[in-house]
C-alpha cells in the first residue's frame, strides 16, 4: 500500500495517476478538500481510500496500524504559497506535520519520500545540496529548509529510506487549482487565449527584458524521479529535482506562443516590492541525483510545454 499526502494537489495527483498506469490501485490519498475544486485532480484516478489530513494525522500520532503494510509515504502535502507570511501556520503545516510522518516511517520501516523546494536557496546562485548555499527568502523556504536540516540529523541512523526532493519550477497538468501560484506556463497559456499576448517583467538584476532564467521542469519528469526512488529503496538523501539547465522567461513565453501559432510579448515594469526578493536565476545542480544512479533525461521547455498544452487545450494528436 502507498500513501500520498497532498494527493489531490498538483504533484500528488500526478503521482497517483502514474501509479495507476503502473497497475497500482492500493493507494490512500490524504488531503484537505476545504478547497473542493481540487477534486477534479482525482476524478480520473483509482484509489483505495481517501482520508482527510486531520483524520490521517490523528491515526499517525497514535501509531495506527493500517490494514495493509505501507510500502511508502509520498509526502507532497504542504502550504506552497511563497506569499504566505503566517509563520506559525507555515511551520505547523510544513514542519511539524512532516516530523510526525518521518518518525512514523522510521518506527515502521516505511519509505518516506517528501517534497522539499528550491526555495531553500533564495538568491544564491549555487544550487547544490549544501548548507553554505541555503539562504531562503521567505517563511515557506525556511519551513522546507528547517525540515531538511532535521532530516539530515536523522539520516545517518535511519534503517529505512528517507528521500527529500528539492523541486525547482514545476509545470504541467493538474495545477489549475493553484491560481496565482500556478506555473508561468499555465498563466501564459491563459493570457494568450484571453488577451493575445504574454506579459513578462522588464529587465532586472542585470538581466535584459524577459531574460531572467529559471530551471523549468515538466511534471512528468518530477514524477519519474519520485517513482525511481520507490523502486530503489536503498537510496536515501536530499536531492535537487530540475533539468540541470536554465531557460529564460522569453523562451517559455515563445514556447507557448509557438504552440498557439499567435501572440506577442509585452514587457511590464518590474515590481518594486519584488526587488531584492526575486530569484532571477535558478539552475539545479543535479550531480547528486546522477551520482545516486538516476540517468533519465529531462525535457526542455519547448518539449514539455507542447506536451502540456496538448493536454490542457485538448489539441488532437
Residues 45 and 129 in one domain: yes
CATH number for position 97: 3.40.50.720
- Does 102 share its domain with 183? no
- 293 with 219, same domain: the answer is yes
167 in the same domain as 48: yes
Query: Structure pTM?
Result: 0.94
Residues 42 and 190 in one domain: no
pLDDT band of residue 30 (cuts 50, 70, 90) is very high
Flag the least confident range among 122-126, 209-213, 230-234, 253-257. Answer: 122-126
pLDDT for residue 98 is more than 60? yes
Q: Over the stretch 144-202, which tens digit does the pLDDT of each residue have? A: 999 999 999 999 999 999 999 999 999 999 999 998 889 999 999 999 999 999 999 99
Question: Does 17 share its domain with 59?
Answer: yes
Asked whether residue 253 falls in the same domain as residue 232, the answer is no
**Which residues are catalytically annotated?**
140, 178
Look at residue 30 and tell me if it is in a domain.
Answer: yes
Q: Are residues 199 and 104 in the same domain?
A: no
Domain that holds residue 274: 176-213+246-282+303-312
Give per-residue pLDDT as tens, 1-28.
999 999 999 999 999 999 999 999 999 9
Residue at 317 is within a domain: no
Quick one: average pLDDT of 211-216? Answer: 97
pLDDT value of position 107: 96
Q: 276: buried, middle or exposed (CB in 10 Å: 19+, 13-18, 0-12)? A: exposed
Same domain, 206 and 93: no
The sign one gets for the Cα dihedral 236, 15, 178, 301 is positive
Structural domain count of the chain = 2
Q: Does residue 316 carry a pLDDT above 60?
A: no
CA distance 66 to 64: 6
pLDDT for 110-126, tens place per residue?
A: 999 999 999 999 988 99
Per DSSP bridges, beta strands 247-248 and 213-214 are antiparallel
Q: 196 and 135: one domain?
A: no
Q: Which residues pair with 3 in a beta bridge?
A: 28, 73
- Say if 28 falls within a structural domain: yes
- In a domain, residue 78? The reply is yes
146 located within any domain: yes
Based on C-alpha coordinates, what's the Rg of the chain?
Answer: 19
Q: Domain check: are 274 and 250 in the same one?
A: yes
CB 113 within 8 A of CB 158: no
CA dihedral 147, 148, 152, 158 (to 10 degrees): 70
201 lies in some domain: yes
Residue 156 lies in a domain: yes
DSSP string covering the chain = -EEEETTTSHHHHHHHHHHHHTT---EEEEE-TTSGGGGGGTTT---SEEEEHHHHHHHHHTTPPPSS---EEEE------TT---HHHHHIIIIIHHHHHHHHHHHHT-EEEEEEEGGGGTT-S--SSSGGG---SSHHHHHHHHHHHHHHHHGGG-SS-EEEEEE-EEE-SS-GGGGGGS-HHHHHHHHHHHHSEEEEE--BTTBPTT--EE-EEEHHHHHHHHHHHHT-TT--EEEEES-S--EEHHHHHHHHHHHHT--EEEEEPPPGGGTTS---B-----HHHHHTT-------HHHHHHHHHHHHTT---
| Residue 84: per-residue pLDDT | 72
State the angle between helix axes of 219-230 and 301-312 in degrees (0 to 180), rounded to the nearest 10: 100
Q: Quote the pLDDT of residue 64.
A: 87
Q: For residue 271, give the CATH number of its domain.
A: 3.90.25.10
Please report whether residue 155 resides in a domain.
yes
Q: What is the pLDDT of residue 78?
A: 82
Kindly state whether residues 152 and 94 are assigned to the same domain: yes
Amino acid at each position: 500500500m502507498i500513501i500520498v499526502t497532498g494527493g489531490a494537489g498538483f504533484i500528488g495527483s500526478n503521482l497517483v495517476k502514474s501509479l495507476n498506469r503502473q497497475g497500482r490501485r492500493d493507494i490512500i490519498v490524504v488531503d484537505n478538500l476545504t478547497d473542493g475544486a481540487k477534486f477534479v485532480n482525482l476524478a480520473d484516478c483509482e484509489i483505495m481510500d481517501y482520508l482527510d489530513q486531520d483524520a490521517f494525522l490523528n491515526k499517525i500520532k497514535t501509531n495506527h496500524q493500517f490494514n495493509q503494510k505501507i510500502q511508502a509515504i509520498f509526502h507532497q502535502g504542504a502550504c506552497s504559497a511563497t506569499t504566505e507570511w503566517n509563520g506559525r501556520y507555515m511551520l505547523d503545516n510544513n514542519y511539524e506535520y512532516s516530523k510526525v510522518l518521518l518518525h512514523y516511517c522510521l518506527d515502521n520501516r516505511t519509505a518516506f519520500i517528501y517534497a522539499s523546494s528550491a526555495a531553500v536557496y533564495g538568491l544564491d546562485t549555487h544550487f547544490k545540496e549544501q548548507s553554505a548555499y541555503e539562504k531562503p527568502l521567505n517563511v515557506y523556504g525556511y519551513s522546507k529548509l528547517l525540515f531538511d536540516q532535521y532530516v539530515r540529523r536523522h539520516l545517518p541512523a535511519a534503517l529505512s529510506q528517507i528521500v527529500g526532493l528539492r523541486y525547482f519550477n514545476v509545470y504541467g497538468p493538474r495545477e489549475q487549482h493553484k491560481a496565482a501560484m500556478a506555473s508561468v506556463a499555465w498563466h501564459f497559456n491563459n493570457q494568450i487565449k484571453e488577451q493575445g499576448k504574454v506579459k513578462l517583467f522588464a529587465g532586472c538584476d542585470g538581466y535584459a527584458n524577459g531574460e531572467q532564467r529559471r530551471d523549468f521542469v515538466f511534471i512528468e519528469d518530477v514524477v519519474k524521479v519520485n517513482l525511481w526512488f520507490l523502486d530503489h529503496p536503498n537510496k536515501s538523501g536530499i536531492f535537487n529535482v530540475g533539468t540541470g539547465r536554465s531557460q529564460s522567461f522569453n523562451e517559455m513565453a515563445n514556447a507557448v506562443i509557438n504552440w498557439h501559432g499567435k501572440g506577442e510579448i509585452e514587457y511590464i515594469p518590474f515590481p518594486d516590492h519584488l526587488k531584492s526578493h526575486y530569484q532571477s536565476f535558478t539552475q539545479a545542480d543535479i550531480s547528486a541525483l546522477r551520482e545516486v544512479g538516476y540517468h533519465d533525461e529531462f525535457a526542455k521547455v519547448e518539449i514539455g510545454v507542447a506536451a502540456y498544452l496538448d493536454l490542457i487545450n485538448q489539441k488532437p494528436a
